[in-house]
Amino acid sequence: MEWSKESVHALVTKQREYFLTGKTLSIAFRKAQLLKLKNMLIKYQSEIEQALHEDLGRCDTEAYLCDIGPVILELDETIRGLKKWARPERLLSGVACFPSATTKIYKMPYGVSLIVAPFNFPFLLSVGVLIPAIAGGNTAVIKCSSKSKASTACLQKIIAATFPEQYITVVDGGHDVADFCLNERFDKIFYTGSPRIGIHVMECAAKNLTPVTLELGGETGNWCIIRKDADLLDAAKKIAFFKICNSGQICININQIAVAEEVADKFIKVLKQAFISQIGEQAFKNPEYAKLITRGAYDYCAKEAEEYRDRIVFGGEGDPETCKYSPTIIYPVKIDEKIVNHELFSPLLPIVTYKDNEVDQLLNTIARREHGLALYLFTKDMSWARKTMSTQQYGGGCVNEVIMHMVVKGAPFGGTGHSGMGCYHGVWGFREFTHPSTVLFGKTKLNLPMRQHPYNKKKKDFLKRFIK
């Protein structure tokens, strides 16, 4: 349907009325809806895979690996843990609250939530966020990207077949429809996308003082640092696989590599071989290789590659008709050049060199830029790695690995600064979609008179001694 300001408002009103009935509050209801969501993914798996292929050129294996499988795992974890997570916490009120002995913390849903999902993982980053929204007892409006048309249409169809619109609804359309949603009074907004649009989301949310979670890519990208003692072959295989995945359109993908100059030439050699062995010399001709989302995204990628044509040592070619551009190594690149100072979201891979004994200067430069969503280190020096990961500012990351931190059960995923705020996955997502409400249970007898006026000298002296 064509969404208008009026129809969006009517939908939000309908969801608010449904939430106020209290139907979403019971744990049994929430678990039943999560199970419906899981069965929906299983039932429509082939349609989801087809939609992902149409939008992003994904093969069915990559579609399941990146969008469907992780969501099912997240559902299983949430269904198992929900009863425990939602249970009110009981605290002793303390002597200052005498005669009250008991205080409880209730995990209350915010109410009507808005989930704004991007194009690059249209099911993972919509249904994956819907999971904690449902677990928290909220209703949800999902605004999907207009760029991933097939996936948006598929999600709209399968959600409508699974849930009533007053509970869960998918809204399609462009930026105008997104603004219709953002200008409504939601109780919680969860946005995944770019820092630039994240600012706009916060501005809209501020008008209604709506709490916001932002999952952003990071304005100056995610660094991968390779020390001279690293296992170069292992690093190359993992980096190549990661950069090939979804044609680089991943918010936590490696944006640029800093490699110790002592091993740079050797690393470039093994990285080229890793790309060739996994996807071929002309990846854009491989049917397993994903495409860039639109012709505009392809043209932007190709144009930026041309600016560094004289330093492309691998790749640098594509097919505008299929919107596939090969993984492209650009080397060498200085740390202050434009290409390593913004998020690429493409298969371009610039490589900066540094002297291994000057790695602290490299880290200092990175620290002065906007915080990335991810940081990856390859080294045998675990003491240095632990120190680095515990002192730098970034969303999350790995040592001698890539991407796998985001699939660790029970671990939070989120950014900081220009890479976002808030986090989710498992219990962390449940917390993101609920408000902890503290309730003290008072007594009607034995209440101390010190909390009552007037304060005579005897009462004042007693009160001061009691507080001390």
Token digits for 303? 């144009």
Q: What is the DSSP string of 324-335?
A: EE--EEE-S--T
User: Nearest CA to 228 among 361, 332, 379?
Assistant: 379
Q: Which of 215, 304, 343, 370 is catalytic?
A: 215
Task: Please name the residue that has the structure tokens 């916001």.
Answer: 212
Q: Rounded distance, CA 316 to CA 293, Å? A: 18
Token digits for 459? 């009462």
Q: Which of 144, 181, 204, 251 is catalytic?
A: 251
Beta bridge partners of 107: 436
Alpha helices in 245-355 (DSSP H): 264-279, 295-307
Let me know: does 319 contact 284? Beta carbons within 8 Å: yes
Strands 318-319 and 168-171: unpaired
Token digits for 155? 């999600």
Distances (CA, A) of 235 to 279, 366, 380: 17, 21, 12
User: Nearest CA to 436 among 54, 110, 98, 168?
Assistant: 110
Alpha helices in 183-287 (DSSP H): 195-206, 232-244, 264-279
Q: What is the DSSP string of 251-270?
A: TTS--EEEEETTTHHHHHHH
Q: Is 181 a catalytic residue?
A: no
Q: Is 59 a catalytic residue?
A: no
Query: Residues with catalytic annotation?
Result: 215, 251
